[in-house]
Amino acid sequence: MTATQTQGLLAADRAQSWWLLSRLFLERPESGLLQDLMADLADVPDGSGLDREVQALRQCLEGEESQTLQQQLMVEYTRLFRGIKEGFGPPPPFESLYRGEGLMSNTAQSARAHYLEAGFGEIVPEAGPQDHLGAELRFLSLLCYREAEGWQAGDPDQALTRRDAQMRFLEQHLMGWLPDYVRRIGVENQQPFYRAVVDLTLAFAKQVEADLEDELDAIQVA
């Protein structure tokens, strides 16, 4: 396998992982989503660097009868992510809120500017302001998919442009607020499932950020 093919496969794997993580913040925890999650977790190899987070999430899914777990998670999903009313769970997962701003702030506009620069419009219109965590994760998935397309087409310039966009978005947006958000959910959660979800999301984001830097260094040396 050539170095270009390897880069394409890595980008495609990241795209799939970001997409699944985005679903966990955008979709109600119905049986189809939970089954998809179980299948994907089963495919994560040992030694991935995410063993602790993956195992914690597996244990949550295996610890209850499926219908009981689904009912419990439906309530928790609404409480943690929908922002029904003040005092009923944490603020919903919008970057602007966790940076101490109001909705539709400069932060939200900046996130949307990244999307437009990459050739996208609204990433998840039904999420509301597009600095929603699910929208940001899905944007990274789309960038990875486009990067993979570039490697597969023998167009490293396109691939590296998409990779640069990922690194800038991680630095300027996601990693600037995700750690604080994860800490807040750690305090607010009443079901270990969503604590495991946010822990895995942060661990994966940190791993991707480090891997992108290492891979870029390797490409430059080559």
Residue 183 confidence (pLDDT) above 60: yes
What's the confidence (pLDDT) of residue 2?
86
Under the banding of pLDDT at 50, 70 and 90, the label for residue 114 is: very high
Q: pLDDT per residue over 46-74, tens digit each?
A: 888 999 999 999 999 987 677 889 999 99
Question: CA 11 to CA 16: how far, in whole Å?
Answer: 9
What's the confidence (pLDDT) of residue 198?
97
As a whole number, the mean pLDDT across the chain is: 92
Q: What is the CA radius of gyration of the chain?
A: 18
Phi, psi of 210 (to 5 degrees): -70, -40
Q: State the average pLDDT over residues 144-148.
A: 97
Amino acid found at 135:
A
- CB neighbours (10 Å) of residue 168? 12
What's the confidence (pLDDT) of residue 175?
97
What's the confidence (pLDDT) of residue 116?
97
What's the confidence (pLDDT) of residue 221?
43
Q: Which residue has the tokens 């947006």?
A: 173
Q: Is 46 helix (H, G, I), strand (E, B) or coil?
A: coil
Domain ranges for the chain, please list them: 3-221
- Asked: is 3-221 a CATH 3.50.50.60 domain? The reply is no
CA distances from 162 to 24, 55, 117 (A): 24, 31, 11
Q: State the average pLDDT over residues 174-201.
A: 95
- CB neighbours (10 Å) of residue 90? 17
What DSSP string runs through 108-132?
HHHHHHHHHHTT-S-S-GGGSSTTB
